[in-house]
Amino acid sequence: QVIVVYEVPCANPDQGIALLKDVIQHEADTSPIAYTSVATKLSDALVGAVDVHQSMAAMEQAFDWQESDEAWVAMQTSTIPLTTI
């Protein structure tokens, strides 16, 4: 297994977590590559997520899917204003 941990500065962590959960739900609903992800608030100005992939190849396939999925890219882009502190 491959575990990926993300930490992102966030001006509004509650809103950031809500958006991350939307992204994770989209991944669960539409990604052809199965993996697990959970979002969490790490501090007053930091959010994060933990992804668990079955292998390095599966992780790379998931990343390729993310980059090619227009809805996923749009969701990520919508979070940019929150990541500026």
Rounded mean pLDDT of 15-25?
Answer: 91
Q: Model's pTM, two decimal places?
A: 0.85
Identify residue 49 by its one-letter amino acid code.
A
Structure tokens at 49: 């997520």
Dihedral (C-alpha) 55, 56, 58, 59: value to the nearest 10 degrees? 120
3-state secondary structure of 1: coil
The pLDDT value given to residue 30? 96
Each residue's pLDDT tens digit, 60-71: 999 999 999 999
Q: Residue length, the chain?
A: 85
pLDDT score of 85 more than 60: no
Over pLDDT 90: what percentage of the chain? 64
